[in-house]
Structure 1
Amino acid sequence: MIDIIMQLRHHLHNCAEISGKEEKTKALLMNFLKNYTTLELHPCGKGFYAAHREKNAVKPAIALRADYDALVMPDGTASHLCGHDGHAAALCGAALMAEGKTFDRNIFFLFQPAEETGAGAEPCCELFQKETVDEIYGAHNLPGVPFGQVTTRPGTFACASRGITLVFKGKPAHAAYPENGISPAAAVGKLLCEIPILSAPEKYTGMTLCTVIGVEMGEKAFGAAAEKAVIWLTLRAEHDHDLTALHDSILQLSETLAQEYHLDFSYEMQDVFPATENHPENAEKVLTLTNGTLLEVPMRWSEDFGHYLQHCKGAFFGIGAGKDHPPLHTEHYEYPDRLLQPAMEVFYKLMES
């Protein structure tokens, strides 16, 4: 069986597709499950799920989720530098392990696109309208953690985050007569100086960050004064309410500065992720079943699995890819084939529990 799953991961790796464009990947996974299992396949959001049903099921129904999108590269191509090819292959392996067996429960294998942009999970919450699901679990491989070691924690596993684009627009002027225009420079300067104060730790109940990603103002034309400025920020917090508070304070200050300096102001949000907040009993269940280790502090990166946990009890956990394995989102990273079997076995333990 493991050879078939390894081959599947290689096929997935070689047909990597960016978030929202995973047509070939989705078809590959569905065809694999049609050929190797008797599971029912159903659409769900822009992904799908495979259903294992039992007539006399008495245990709580569970869902197991894997993502399958890849990262977009600078040239616009896609590459599996986060291991979603391994996540999807391992969940297919768990489905094969379940074939023909009785667990006294219904099991739903959920395959989700567009995790990297935070756009995939929320539409896939359609699962909870279509099926009765009592618990949901998901996993991510973790380079830097001992190979095969499972780790999780009650409460926040991965932080909430969102990107914000702030746009200030004034009035152009010749550089020799700046008083005839309206420059966003002063407003932008004040805002950037206030960000460390707005995100100060004592204002929040958990870790909260505002990272300045970039600032663009005017252009390299020495005869023209700046008319427009754009600021890109990433907000991050351990708790959703802290992220909302930071977001609101930045927008309030931006609007105040825009009025003070007679600027037009607008903003957009991108890559919105809720906090992935595990239900304590489900996190403890994972730790007990796997002899796992407690994650001391939340991961600062984000994971859209948090949408599911707002609808259903469950937990998200990590599986170590090795202490010396290349980090996620780097050019030398690739999901290790030898991690497939341990990942499948953890899913199987959850099905049996």
Structure 2
Amino acid sequence: MGNEEIYRSLRASAGAIESELIALRRKLHSYPELSFEEERTSDAVAEWLSGLGLDVMRRGVGGHGIVAELAGSRPGPRIALRADMDALPIQEESGLPYASQVPGVMHACGHDAHTAMLCGAARLLAERRERLSGSIRLLFQSAEEINAGAKAMIGQGALEGVDEIYGLHNLPTLPAGQAGTRFGALMGSVDQFEVTVTGRGGHGALPEQCVDPVVAASAIVMALQTAISRELSPFSPAVVTVGSVHGGAAYNVIPERVELAGTVRTFSPDVQEKMPDRLLRLINRTAEAYRCEAELRYIRHVPVLVNRDDCVRHAEAAIDAVLGRENRIEAPPVLAGEDFSVYLQRVPGCFIWLGSGPENGAEQAYGLHHPRYMLNEDCLADGAALLAAIAMSRLDDEVPGKGIE
């Protein structure tokens, strides 16, 4: 069987199980689970993988994470494929017949679809294991939404012996049937900061007797914007966003303190490294100017997601064969984060976008994390075939370019 036939057979086989993938995805969508609570989802994945004859490692692998190994017929490298499983604390408003049955919890980012895709890829690969020189490690990860699952999986050995890793994320603003790749940095780093501004409270009619932390906090919010606009090159993309401001409980009372919280995103490891000191200086000196005190708590979450060039080329070859070259775009960089970046710090790999929006592009597509987000389920077979094709391109002796550099 030649190279083209291999990929055609994968896409045809994915189409043959599309109804099963849709049923699995809808089952997961109806009963979403928050980060590190994915027990029911994990049970469904384990049942699917066990039905393929795979040994499944779970319970204690990154929370409710699952690791399964699919060995080929001959020795060779180990390729990891990863899907995330957790949902978000969002009340679903899609109106779908299989909408979330759990109040306040929704698969608004499509992790249910990612899980179904990797289950589908596992079946496609299990049916072709005699062609593989090496093995495939299937990683079903908890807690991507809180940037904790990848670290937990790695801490418990999920990457040991892995040569390369690949993953994808659906994108509702890209039509189903298309995919996007990018060399280098694809997604931003994610850090979190919290600031307490303390003054001296009192009556709103007597500000001279008080030290007003509201005014100081307002000045800090504005000063933080200069960390980007006045201290970084315009060619070093970064953003500082204050997303939460809490202080006071009455209209005529100056409070004792104000709490701020926000996020820092960058495309540069060097910029990310220096941001805590930059923010600390701006916060402290601004607070001092208003006679207040400030405390900064800076929490590092995940690094910049950087794809390796040769792994991008392998992913692109699989996309071109499965979906067609005309359906592959160059993905623009985004400052949203993904903890897949933590895997890429340790082993080479590639992360891609998979279209999950209306195919004609004319309909309004609600974005990720929106309560009316909906996924075009035509992407499920595409994702399963693509993940399987990427793995086979690295492990099948008859596929040109096979082998780990």
- Say whether the fold is shared (TM-score over 0.5): yes
Q: Equivalents in 1 of 2:91, 2:354: separation in Å?
A: 28
Range that drifts further, 142-151 or 177-186: 177-186
Q: Equivalents in 1 of 2:262, 2:159: separation in Å?
A: 37
Match of 1:175 among 186, 204, 207: 204
Q: Equivalents in 2 of 1:255, 1:164: separation in Å?
A: 14
Aligned residue pairs, count: 350
Q: Equivalents in 2 of 1:39, 1:235: separation in Å?
A: 41
SS in 2 for 1:156: strand
Q: Which amino acid aligns with 1:278?
A: N
Q: Equivalents in 2 of 1:181, 1:207: separation in Å?
A: 40
1:78 aligned partner: 105
Does the Cα contact within 8 Å between 1:80 and 1:334 map onto a contact in 2? no
Does the Cα contact within 8 Å between 2:33 and 2:105 map onto a contact in 1? yes
Does the Cα contact within 8 Å between 2:244 and 2:261 map onto a contact in 1? yes
1:288 aligned partner: 317
1:41 aligned partner: 56
Q: Which amino acid aligns with 1:216?
A: H
Deviation at 1:186, TM superposition (A): 4.1
Q: Which amino acid aligns with 2:167?
A: G
Does the Cα contact within 8 Å between 2:85 and 2:112 map onto a contact in 1? yes
1:209 aligned partner: 239
Q: Which amino acid aligns with 2:203?
A: H
Deviation at 1:141, TM superposition (A): 0.8
Structure 2 unmatched ranges of 5 or more: 1-16, 93-102, 394-405
Q: Which amino acid aligns with 2:345?
A: Q
Cα RMSD after superposing both structures: 2.3
CA 1:166–1:11: 2 relative to 1, 3 Å: same
Q: Equivalents in 2 of 1:14, 1:269: separation in Å?
A: 36
The residue correspondences of 1:334-353 to structure 2 (distance < 5 A) are 334-353=374-393
Q: Equivalents in 2 of 1:178, 1:282: separation in Å?
A: 61
Deviation at 1:124, TM superposition (A): 1.1
Match of 1:52 among 51, 70, 95: 70
CA 1:57–1:282: 2 relative to 1, 3 Å: same
CA 1:94–1:115: 2 relative to 1, 3 Å: same
Range that drifts further, 277-286 or 292-301: 292-301
The residue correspondences of 1:74-113 to structure 2 (distance < 5 A) are 77-100=104-127, 101-102=129-130, 103-113=132-142
Q: Which amino acid aligns with 1:312?
A: V
The residue correspondences of 1:115-154 to structure 2 (distance < 5 A) are 115-126=144-155, 128=157, 131-154=160-183
Does the Cα contact within 8 Å between 2:169 and 2:352 map onto a contact in 1? yes
Q: Which amino acid aligns with 1:239?
A: S
SS in 1 for 2:265: strand
Does the Cα contact within 8 Å between 2:220 and 2:283 map onto a contact in 1? yes
Q: Equivalents in 2 of 1:82, 1:146: separation in Å?
A: 16
Task: Encode CA deviations 1:296-351: one digit per residue, 9 max, x unaligned.
Answer: 53122111100000010001001111334432222332332221111111011112
State TM-score, norm by structure 2.
Answer: 0.80
SS in 1 for 2:335: coil
Q: Equivalents in 1 of 2:230, 2:176: separation in Å?
A: 34
The residue correspondences of 1:252-331 to structure 2 (distance < 5 A) are 252-269=281-298, 272-291=301-320, 293-322=328-357, 323=361, 324=363, 325-331=365-371
Q: Equivalents in 2 of 1:144, 1:296: separation in Å?
A: 12
Does the Cα contact within 8 Å between 2:356 and 2:378 map onto a contact in 1? no
2:9 aligned partner: none
Deviation at 1:94, TM superposition (A): 0.6
Q: Equivalents in 2 of 1:176, 1:340: separation in Å?
A: 61
Task: Encode CA deviations 1:135-160: one digit per residue, 9 max, x unaligned.
Answer: 00000011122322121111111111
SS in 1 for 2:277: helix
Q: Equivalents in 2 of 1:214, 1:127: separation in Å?
A: 34
Range that drifts further, 165-174 or 62-71: 165-174
Deviation at 1:74, TM superposition (A): 5.5
Does the Cα contact within 8 Å between 1:119 and 1:271 map onto a contact in 2? no
Q: Equivalents in 2 of 1:298, 1:201: separation in Å?
A: 22
Q: Equivalents in 1 of 2:120, 2:185: separation in Å?
A: 28
2:100 aligned partner: none
Match of 2:79 among 62, 65, 72: 62
Q: Equivalents in 2 of 1:208, 1:246: separation in Å?
A: 10
Task: Encode CA deviations 1:19-57: one digit per residue, 9 max, x unaligned.
Answer: 1221111122112222x2111111332211111124632
Range that drifts further, 343-352 or 317-326: 317-326
Deviation at 1:280, TM superposition (A): 1.3
CA 1:318–1:338: 2 relative to 1, 3 Å: same
SS in 2 for 1:97: helix
